[in-house]
Amino acid sequence: MIRRASTLLPLRDTRDGLEVLMIRRSAELFGGGWWVFPGGSLEAVDSSALAAKLIKGSCGADLPWISAAVRETAEEVNLFLTDLPVDPSRFGSLSGAALYTELVREGVTIDGSAIGYLSNWVTPEKVKKRFDTRFLVAAVEPDVELTPNVGEVDAVNWVAPDEMLSRSRDEYPIIFPTIKHLELLTKFESAEDVLAYAAGLEVVAVQPTMSKGPNGEVVLTVPGAPGFEDSAVTEGAVE
């Protein structure tokens, strides 16, 4: 069975250039120890009337994916993309329907049209735990404060994409789709540029193929997806 999931790439502009928010999953969770972007599986509440009240704009069939991405980001690092500021101390312990309920009660909304749809990745067939994941992007204020949920996240980092790519994979392990999105982000100078790029995309599903290299390493290939090039990764990059 393929689980639907949604991931958000929060972007901010600094004097040194574009940065993206990355989190490290807590060790006891699936993907524990890996550096990833905030996100997780879609839940029933992401398609609910509550979600529709909170997420405004022309979302249509994209509502569950946008809702899941912003909900997971709020749950994991207390980053709220609401039109008005909210107090993280009031909402930081909430999740799922309770989070939606209290945000709607607060009278805030989230502009779904300000969140860009960057890509859709489907886990290779040879992997036991498979996901159909949408990668979304949103611009946030440079000075936004984050409070990690210690049950899900044990570290957070705003980082330039090229800096993350250059770091040691032993110290900062990242998986193939994360690598490819970081590589894509290195082509842009600002969050506005990324959102403009996403607005002009006709997204097609990316399903990497897996094979074994001459030395036994795992080779992942992206078959001609816009914005992504063929790549090979060593064994251990895919669980």
pLDDT in tens, the chain (239 residues): 899 999 999 999 999 999 999 999 876 655 567 899 999 999 999 999 999 999 998 678 899 999 999 999 999 999 999 999 998 888 878 999 999 999 999 999 999 999 999 999 998 887 888 999 999 999 999 988 888 887 779 899 999 999 999 987 778 889 889 999 999 999 999 999 999 999 999 898 888 887 777 777 777 778 767 778 655 554 444 33
Q: Which amino acid is at 50?
A: L
pTM attached to this predicted model: 0.91
What pLDDT, in 10s, does the model give residues 177-196? 999 999 999 999 999 999 99
pLDDT for the residue 233: 56
Pairing of strands 116-122, 130-139: antiparallel
The reply to whether 227 falls in a domain is no
Residue 99 half-sphere exposure toward CB, CA atoms < 13 A: 28
Which residues, in sequence order, are bridge partners of residue 21?
158
Query: Among 7, 40, 27, 21, which Cα is nearest to 151's?
Result: 27
CATH number at residue 183: 3.90.79.10
The reply to whether 238 falls in a domain is no
Range of the domain at 122: 2-205
The reply to whether 167 falls in a domain is yes
Sign of CA dihedral 239, 167, 12, 199: negative
Question: 152: which 2 tokens?
Answer: 């899900």
Overall domain count for the chain: 1
The reply to whether 228 falls in a domain is no
The reply to whether 15 falls in a domain is yes
Residue 127 half-sphere exposure toward CB, CA atoms < 13 A: 19
The reply to whether 220 falls in a domain is no
The reply to whether 189 falls in a domain is yes
What pLDDT, in 10s, does the model give residues 135-148? 999 999 998 888 88
In the chain, % of residues over pLDDT 70: 92
Q: Which amino acid is at 186?
A: T
The reply to whether 143 falls in a domain is yes
Contact 198, 143 (CB under 8 A): no
